[in-house]
Structure 1
Amino acid sequence: MRRWFLLGEKNWGHKHCIQQWMNSAMNLSKGITGTVAESKSASTNPLVNELQHEAEQILQQVRERFPHYRESLEGTTIRLSGRLTSSAGNACPKRKQIGLSIPIFSLKENREEYRNTVLHELAHIIAGPKVQSHGKEWRDIFIELGGNGKRTHQMRARGRHHRHMIQCEQCGTDIEVSTRMKNSIAKGRRDYIHIDCGGILVFREENSLEKVSASSEENPADDWFSQLSKKLQQGTLFRFFGSE
């Protein structure tokens, strides 16, 4: 039996194409193109509007400076997400959609990395869905665009987060999952399927990202409560179909 899953609220913004596609379809039906805010409340936030405008400018600059990539970038949309708390950004090359983290880039200390993050995700769009997610071809494009060539970041968001990355064996999309699911896949389970393309989800050691902590002096009681809340929340993150 293979388990098809939908990523829930916490994970949908982390390189998962289904919800991105739904958002894009809704906006296209209204004639909206370019950078898209996640919600009306986000779009009225001056900081979010500023981030949107900057991302759109970077996209336009890349189109103008690298004409040989214009076709690859045609139709690319960018949205800002409050649900990306561990990842600075994500990309779905198949849908040509990019997500950027509001929690991370709302912190002034992280703003200098914003351009690099946008270029990182644009490199994924240009490289396309058939290229290894963070392989040499992607890295060469990333550096050509002006990025630093690194696949991970050390930026923090508010709160404490544990994050693990798995990858679709077929399309190369990176997906953030819980520690429990990561451990299961790392032990060799191959019955988790990427709902977007049908590929098997696998764990690669180099995809494991470090834990981010907003403070090293966290109250143990608060930490225990946070972990309990997280476990309860994770019960709603995945929906399985089929029976054993």
Structure 2
Amino acid sequence: MVLRNRQHPTMPEQLHARVEACYQQAEAFFKQPFVRPEVCFKLRGQKAGVAHLTENKLRFNLQLYRENQDDFLKQTVAHEVAHLVAHHLFGPRIQPHGEEWQLIMRGVYELPPHRCHSYDVKRRTVSRFIYRCVCPQGEYPFSAQRHALVAKGRRYYCRRCKVTLSFTGEHRLE
């Protein structure tokens, strides 16, 4: 059994606490209750957070949180909660980063309404399979997934010369 020092909350506990604080701020501002969302940490890649409006769910990228804790808690969590609050207040027809969302970011959270984060995202190495057509500049790097579809019989064509693209045998790591 592992005993944890309760003076230092875990990363998920900190995120949950910040989500709750954002909701309490919104409730005080708008003078109405909001249903709390499901919060999960199964987000990878370049996105720091995602709000699933119709599911009332927030997903966060723990790796980006680990690397950018202060800004992530302050800006990213409020950004995603603001999406759910805006959806609840104004309905599904609003723009994701439109004036309603911006109002919440500025008015409720007193934060700049940045659409995107500026965290350093380490890109993983990806395989590219090189396909060609008869055009002089006709080189097409295919993902492993698209290359596998070609192996199963799918065909892709050059938009210029209309010739079926063929695998050169060349494979690169980018």
Report what 1:59 is aligned to: 23
Q: Work out whether residues 110 and 155 of structure 1, in 8 Å CA contact, stay in contact via their aligned partners in 2.
A: no
Contact 2:94–2:100 (8 Å) recurs in 1: yes
- Rounded to whole Å, the distance in 2 between the matches of 1:59 and 1:234 is 43
Question: Which residue does 2:12 correspond to in 1?
Answer: 48
Q: 1:66 to 1:47 in 2, by over 3 A?
A: same
The Cα of 1:46 is off from its aligned counterpart by 2.4
Does residue 120 (structure 1) correspond to residue 79 (structure 2)? The answer is: yes
How many percent identity over aligned positions? Answer: 21
- The answer on whether the counterparts of 1:55 and 1:115 sit within 8 Å (CA) in structure 2 is no
**Whole-Å separation in 2 of the counterparts to 1:57 and 1:118:** 10
Judged with a 3 Å threshold, the aligned counterparts in structure 2 of structure 1 residues 67 and 136 are, in CA distance, closer, same or farther, namely closer
Letter in 2 for 1:160: R
Instruction: Indicate the structure whose relative CO is greater, using CA pairs within 8 Å and at least 6 residues apart.
Output: 1
* Alpha carbons of structure 1 residues 234 and 111: separation in structure 2 relative to 1, 3 Å: farther
Alignment partner, residue 41 of structure 2: 81
Could you tell me how far apart the structure 2 residues matched to 1:84 and 1:136 are? 28
**By how many angstroms is 1:102 displaced?**
0.7
What is the 5 A alignment of 1:68-217? 68=31, 70-71=32-33, 74-107=34-67, 109-128=68-87, 129-145=92-108, 146-157=110-121, 159-160=122-123
Q: Tell me the distance in 2 between the aligned counterparts of 1:59 and 1:104.
A: 22
Larger Rg over CA atoms: 2
Q: What TM-score do the two structures reach when normalised by structure 2?
A: 0.57
Cα distance in 2 for partners of 1:58, 1:51 equals 11
Q: Give, as a single letter, the amino acid of the residue that structure 2 aligns with 1:227.
A: V
- Give how far 1:235 is off: 8.4
Structure-1-length-normalised TM-score: 0.43
Where in structure 1 do 4 or more consecutive aligned residues deviate above 3 Å? Answer: 229-236
Asked whether the equivalents of residues 39 and 59 of structure 2 are also in contact (C-alpha less than 8 Å), the reply is: yes
Secondary structure of 1:99's counterpart equals strand
Cα RMSD of the aligned pairs, angstroms, is 2.9
Q: Closer, same or farther in 2 for the Cα pair 1:57/1:235, shift >3 Å? A: farther
Letter in 1 for 2:144: L
Structure number with higher helix proportion: 1
Q: Secondary structure at the match of 2:39?
A: strand
Residues 19, 78 of structure 2: 8 Å contact kept = no
- Structure 1 segments unaligned to the other structure (5+ residues): 1-44, 162-225, 237-244
Q: Taking structure 1 as reference, are residues 137 and 59 closer, same or farther at Cα in structure 2, changes over 3 Å only?
A: closer
Q: Aligned partners of 1:234 and 1:104: how far apart in 2? A: 28
Q: C-alpha offsets along residues 180-226 of structure 1, whole Å, 9 cap, x if unaligned?
A: xxxxxxxxxxxxxxxxxxxxxxxxxxxxxxxxxxxxxxxxxxxxxx2
- 1:41-65 CA-to-partner distances (Å, cap 9, x unmatched) read xxxx9222232233223323332x2
The alpha-carbon distance between structure 1 residues 235 and 98, as it changes in their structure 2 partners (threshold 3 A), is farther
Q: Deviations over 1:120-165 (max 9, x none)?
A: 11221122122111112221222112221111110124x316xxxx
Instruction: Give the deviation of 1:119 after TM superposition.
Output: 1.7
